[in-house]
Each structure stands twice: as C-alpha cells, then as structure tokens.
Amino acid sequence: GRIGQSAFRSLILSAANNRRIQAMADRHGLEAGADRFVAGETLVDAMRVIERLRDDGMRTYVIALGEAIHSRQGAAAAADLYEQLIPDVAARGPGTTFSIKLTHLGIELDRDLALGHARRIISRAAEHAAFVRLDMEHSAVVDDTLAIYRALRSDGLDNTGIVLQAYLHRSLDDLIGLLPLEPNVRVVKGAYLEPPGVALQRKSHVDVAYNQLARTALSHAKFTAVATHDAQAIRAAAAVAQRTGADFEFQMLYGVRYALAQQMVARGHAVRICVPFGKDWFVYFTRRLAERPSNVLFLARNLGRR
C-alpha cells in the first residue's frame, strides 16, 4: 500500500547513512547482490558491460560512483578521475556519454569549486565530442545545480544537460525557466527522501506529475531523455513524441527491466542504459533497493546463501 511503500523508502534510504550497515555491505562486497545494478568496481568491468549492451543495440552512459565529498582534495580527486575516464571511454566506446554528481565535485562545500571542476570535466569531454549530464540529487542542491548548469551553458559548453525530478513541486517551473536555453533534459520521477513541503509523497501523484513534465519537455526542450522503467509512462511519452516530432531517447538503469528496454529497441526507439561502476557502490545500491520492496528480499536471499 501507499503508506507501506513510503515507510519502506524512509527505512531503506536512512539505513544508507548508517556506518555499520555500510561496513557490513563492504564485507560482503558486490556479491551481496549489488552486481545486479553495478557493472563492477573498475572501468574494465564497465567496458565489458558497455560492449555487451552495444551488441543488443543499446546506447550507454557511464557514471563513476562515489560518495558526497567533504574535502577540497576529495573533490579534486573525483574530477581527476573523470578527466582520465572520458578520453578512455570515448576511445573504446564511441557514443557513450557520462553523468556526474556535483556532490562528488564538492557542491556542498563551495559552489564555485564544483563549477570549476565541472567546467574542467566538460571542456575535456568537448575535446572528445562527448556529452556529460549533471545528475540531480537531493533538494538542498537543486538551486546550485541549476545555477552551475546555467553558468556552463553561458561559457559556451553545449555538451551538457540537466535532470529534472517530477516529484519536486518546483520542477515544471524549473523546466519552463530553462526552455530559452534549449536544454537537453532528462526527466525522472526522483530517487531521494524529501519532505511534503518540497516533494509529492504519493506514488500516484508522482506518476501524474511525471507524465506532465515529460510531455512538456517532449514538446519544448531541445532533447529529452525519458528516464523511467514505468511501461505506462513510456507508452505515453512515445505517443507524445510521435505527435511533437521530439528529438528524444529512453533511458533505463543497468539491471532494471531489461526486457522492456529490448522491447523498445525492437520497436525502433533509442534506449540508453546507465552503467555505474566504482568502489563506492553502496549508496547507489540502496537507492535502487528503496525503489522496490522485493529488491530487499532479493538482497536477503543473497546474503543468506553465503
């Protein structure tokens, strides 16, 4: 039920911040079941998954997993990692794009620090004709994330895009405000735990808001990534796109509803799969668990089997 679902999300998402639970997950490693959602700990693992997906007709994007950074050194190291990663992936997997999380680049420490790192990464990507999207994170960083996006675009960096979360009350206004920039927008439902003042709480309301946000993007944005595993939302978006002639693709996460992704490719749609990799996979993994109660049973079975 509705209440069950949101209590479940709170429980799992707050467990993600618990050090002891995190230490337990580290001991069990990716074998605890995270390898269903994460390509592996290294770039070699990610490239293997990218090649397999490409054989199935899928586009891909890469995200290097990391945790929120609390030092300038950590932020610089995360930026260095991407600067090395981009030329490597661009050479071996042409057409692969990237996502970055600004919390990894220090946005919570200093917005201009994160802007500087993002500018460096996205300029390097431009040299390789690669595209880098700024993921959207918890609501406290949305204003700064949008400000960084605007600053990058006014620097002339057009190989970047943004994400808008349908559960936030503000997102439709944010989209409308961005339209003069001819943005490349990914539309998602939203993965974080947010209070009622900030975000819709009922799944049915989020579903309605998602369709509206996607419809608006598909009607007016330069490019829309419809990122969802919701078959109803996918059907609705495909119908809108046909009417508006939108430039768009579907996006899904590695390990989630792959049969649906294959179905959309078979129907002639472009589908891009998010391929996450890295040592800091735990927080990403818990967000995926929180999206579906049965995922936790799956985890419990895997831990039990060891």
Residues that constitute the known binding site for FAD: 136, 165, 189-191, 203, 228-229
Give the residue, chosen from 292, 293, 296, 302, that forms a contact with ligand FAD under the rule CB under 6 A. 292
Which residues, 64 to 123, sit near ligand FAD by CB under 6 A?
Answer: none
What CA–CA distance (Å, rounded) separates 256 from 228? 10
Q: Is 193 in the site for ligand FAD (CB under 6 A)?
A: no
Q: Is 53 in the site for ligand FAD (CB under 6 A)?
A: no
Q: Is 230 in the site for ligand FAD (CB under 6 A)?
A: yes
Region binding ligand FAD by CB under 6 A among candidate stretches 43-51, 116-124, 235-243, 288-296: 288-296
Give the residue, chosen from 253, 264, 271, 275, that forms a contact with ligand FAD under the rule CB under 6 A. 253
C-beta closer to ligand FAD: residue 134 or 246: 134
Region binding ligand FAD by CB under 6 A among candidate stretches 47-55, 139-147, 184-192, 277-285: 184-192
Nearest to 61 by CA among 79, 29, 85, 84: 85
Region binding ligand FAD by CB under 6 A among candidate stretches 11-19, 139-147, 177-185, 222-230: 222-230
Q: What is the 3-state secondary structure (H, E, C) of the chain?
A: CHHHHHHHHHHHHHHCCCHHHHHHHHHHHHHHCHHHCCCCCCHHHHHHHHHHHHHCCCEEEEEECCCCCCCHHHHHHHHHHHHHHHHHHHHHCCCCEEEECHHHHCCCCCHHHHHHHHHHHHHHHHHCCCCEEECCCCHHHHHHHHHHHHHHHHCCCCCEEEEEECCECCHHHHHHHHHHHCCEEEEECCCCCCCCCCECCCHHHHHHHHHHHHHHHHHHCCEEEEECCCHHHHHHHHHHHHHHCCCEEEEEECCCCHHHHHHHHHCCCCEEEEEEECCCCHHHHHHHHHCCHHHHHHHHHHHHHC
Give the residue, chosen from 28, 128, 257, 269, that forms a contact with ligand FAD under the rule CB under 6 A. 257
Q: Is the Cβ–Cβ distance between 54 and 96 less than 8 Å? A: no
- Identify the active-site residue in 111, 135, 174, 272: 135
User: Catalytic residue at 186?
Assistant: yes
- Identify the active-site residue in 111, 186, 215, 272: 186
What CA–CA distance (Å, rounded) separates 101 from 107? 9
Q: How many residues bind ligand FAD (CB under 6 A)?
A: 23
Which residues, 130 to 159, sit near ligand FAD by CB under 6 A?
Answer: 135-136
Q: Is 252 in the site for ligand FAD (CB under 6 A)?
A: yes
C-beta closer to ligand FAD: residue 23 or 147: 147
C-beta closer to ligand FAD: residue 69 or 274: 274
Give the residue, chosen from 291, 293, 296, 302, that forms a contact with ligand FAD under the rule CB under 6 A. 291
List active site positions. Answer: 135, 186
The binding site for ligand FAD (CB under 6 A) comprises 135-136, 163, 165, 188-192, 227-230, 251-253, 256-257, 274, 288, 291-292, 295
